[in-house]
Structure 1
Amino acid sequence: MRSFFLSAATALALFAGNGGAAAPVTPASVLAEAPASAWVAPAPDDLLVMDLAGGKRVVIALAPDFAPVHVASIRTLARAHWYDGLWIERVQDNYVVQWGDPTEKKPLPAGVPADPPAEYERSAAGLALTEHPYRDTFADRTGFVSGWPVAEDGGQAWLTHCYGMVGVGRGNAPSTGSGAELYAIIGHAPRALDRNIALVGRVLTGIEGMTALPRGSEAMGFYKTEGERLPILSARLASDLPEAQRPHVRVLDTASPAFAAWVKVRANRKDDFYVRPAGAIDLCSVMPPVKEGD
């Protein structure tokens, strides 16, 4: 079993109250104290690396344990270089960035079903949920499973629409989306979408290159002309890139004491700025931190 340790100073200040003249414990100080073993590197086959025009790179972690068929299709699309030359076609303020084929005419590669099974939720059996300690509006229980934000109710579990999460665009039911159209949340968490769309991943790095894009002027934030769209130069699985070109990212282990300490401090800020600690925090406000580099 792995062990995780915070420094004595941080642990005492966090769990026994920050008395005396000790420096206040902050989320940043907890992360600084987190050991290297508390940071987990996603598997290269679970990272989609999307290079956009203008030098922007977006790294997306995929979630095969929650949407295995959709993730398999995204891997097939990436390996076929299907996304190359397509566009970011929609930027809706406080909502989503969407990319894919706005013409809907590009044929899908062999093996990619147009309407796979709806993977909007799955059985909660076998999931090791690190429970979030604060009440949720949408489910009986929430927490994290291997870094993924998860809600659970009635024996079913599902990924939640938090900032940076990536989903599969679809039409009205019975459409479930093939993975040809993807979107990322760039606004306040639209949790009402939970269990209505397949969530397949999370943007780990580069989302600022999406949030800073001009908003589309058409309905739902679509761009009016092709010239407004941002081209996708390439989209590859990290496992298909040379080692030197692969992103090096690590995510704070949500089963670690370091993550529990970070959540506790985030919910109970006592540094010089905060006059009144909230005593609570919502699930989407504690998405596990990401660290770049070795």
Structure 2
Amino acid sequence: MPKTALLPTALAALLLPAISAIAAPVAAPAQPPPPLSSAEVLAQSPAGDWRALDPESTLLMELQGPRGPGQVLIELAPRFAPRHVANIRSLARGGFYDGLAVVRVQDNFVTQWGDPDGDDPKKARPLGKAEAKIPAEFSIPYQGLPLTRLPDVDGWAPQTGFVDGFPVAADPKANKAWLAHCYGMVGAGRGNAIDSSTGAELYAVIGHAPRGLDLNITVVGRVLKGMELLASLPRGGPNMGFYEQAEQRSAIQRVRLLTDMPEAERPALQVLRTDSKTWTALLDARRHRGGWFVHSPGHIEVCSASVPTRPVP
């Protein structure tokens, strides 16, 4: 009779489940679903996550450029620069901007428009009912501001986020918040005196965000539509991009508030609400890229998170 090594019953009971587990096929770990693209996030957005334009705070500038006529739509920011916005409304209603010109295009910096004779008291166009002297509006109190905060680190401010669709930087300890100089933001040009801006001379950022201008210039709004026109104009000369010849300038035909236009002629656009779930999901989609991307940055910053617009459905 052959000798057979027998396992004690108790030991066999312990080992057999382990042996069975080793022999059984190992289930593959569940794969997370691929991240949604920005386009997919926007396609799934509910209607309530979009808002209409405020016609009292939206300007339509009709521009005659080298390639023909075009429109630039500007959303004003009365929460952050109420006196300047009031002045701009008055200037637009008084026809101040009509017939003026783009006077400066500096590569990777700004496109600027206003009165070419604005520095000559004898030739400068009168401001009409607008104020000739208003205080600088570089910042507002942080406390109570409905900021949709970004958790991502910013090198220019302790905190960043969005309010009413505008990119905002803030210093909570100093109780101070301000509009950030991102691509497409519109500022009020000034001279050496900090209170020398009135809104009669405006510019739009057309290059990499010049955040060093934060808290140094009153920012009054942002371009919603028409950046391709402002950013593609011929560059000016070596004097900070100012045109040397009058014929180089692009003419401004007229500037109107949407509220002063027939409703049928107003641009029919909606803006994504930055206090919505769609906005939060869109930011995540931009942090965590899929598809074509080999490397996903896992990070955004306030000037790379532009707020989308769309035609009214």
Q: TM-score, normalised by structure 1?
A: 0.90
CA drift at 1:200: 0.3
Distance 1:100 1:35 in 2: 40
For residues 169 and 296 of structure 2, the distance between their equivalents in structure 1, rounded to whole angstroms, comes to: 25
Q: After TM superposition, give the deviation of residue 110 of structure 1 in Å.
A: 3.6
Q: 1:145 aligns with which of 163, 172, 185?
A: 163
* Residue in structure 1 matched with residue 125 of structure 2 by the alignment: 107
Of the three residues 26, 40, 46, the one matched with 1:29 is 40
Task: Tell me the distance in 2 between the aligned counterparts of 1:262 and 1:210.
Answer: 27
Counterpart residue number, 1:280: 299
Q: Give the partner amino acid of 1:45.
A: E
In the TM superposition, what is the alpha-carbon distance from 1:293 to its structure 2 partner?
Answer: 3.6
Aligned equivalents of 1:220 and 1:276: distance in 2? 38
CA offset at residue 18 of structure 1? 4.2
| Equivalences, count | 275
Contact 2:115-2:125 within 8 A present in 1 as well: no
- Choose the corresponding residue for 2:308, options 281, 289, 292: 289
Partner residue in 2 for 1:125: 143
CA RMSD of aligned residues (A): 1.4
Question: Could you tell which deviates more after superposition, 24-33 or 62-71?
Answer: 24-33
CA distance in 1, matches of 2:281, 2:115: 43
Match of 1:42 in 2: 53
Q: What letter matches 1:135 in structure 2?
A: V
Question: Which string of whole-angstrom CA distances, capped at 9 and with x for unpartnered residues, describes residues 78-131 of structure 1?
Answer: 000110000011111110000001211333334422331110001112211100
Q: Taking structure 2 as the reference length, what is the TM-score of the superposition?
A: 0.85
Does structure 1 residue 255 correspond to structure 2 residue 306? no
Alpha-carbon distance in 2 for matches of 1:70, 1:94: 26
**Separation of aligned partners in 1, 2:89 and 2:275:** 27
- Determine if the alignment matches structure 1 residue 212 to structure 2 residue 212: no
CA contact (8 A) 2:113 2:203 kept: yes
Distance 1:36 1:175, change over 3 A: same
Which residue, 78, 82, 88 being the options, matches 2:102?
Answer: 88
Distance (Å, rounded) in 1 between the aligned partners of 2:265 and 2:229: 19
- Residue type of the alignment partner of 1:277: S
Match of 2:70 among 50, 56, 71: 56
The list of structure 1 runs, each at least 4 consecutive aligned residues, that deviate by more than 6 angstroms after superposition, is: none
Q: Larger radius of gyration, structure 1 or 2? A: 2
Whether 1:224 aligns to 2:224 is no
Q: Distance in 1 between matches of 2:290 and 2:32?
A: 9
Cα shift at 1:209 = 0.8
1:203 alignment counterpart: 223
**Which string of whole-angstrom CA distances, capped at 9 and with x for unpartnered residues, describes residues 32-52 of structure 1?**
111111111121011000001
**Matched AA of 1:274:** F
Q: How far apart in 2 are the matches of 1:81 and 1:17? A: 61
C-alpha separation in 2, matches of 1:145 and 1:194: 16
Structure 2 spans left out of the alignment, 5+ residues: 1-29
Q: CA deviation at 1:270?
A: 1.6
Q: Secondary structure at the match of 1:150?
A: strand
Identity of aligned residues (%): 49
Residue of structure 2 in register with 1:10 after alignment: none
The one-letter amino acid of 1:201's match is G
Q: Quick one: which amino acid aligns to residue 88 of structure 1?
A: V
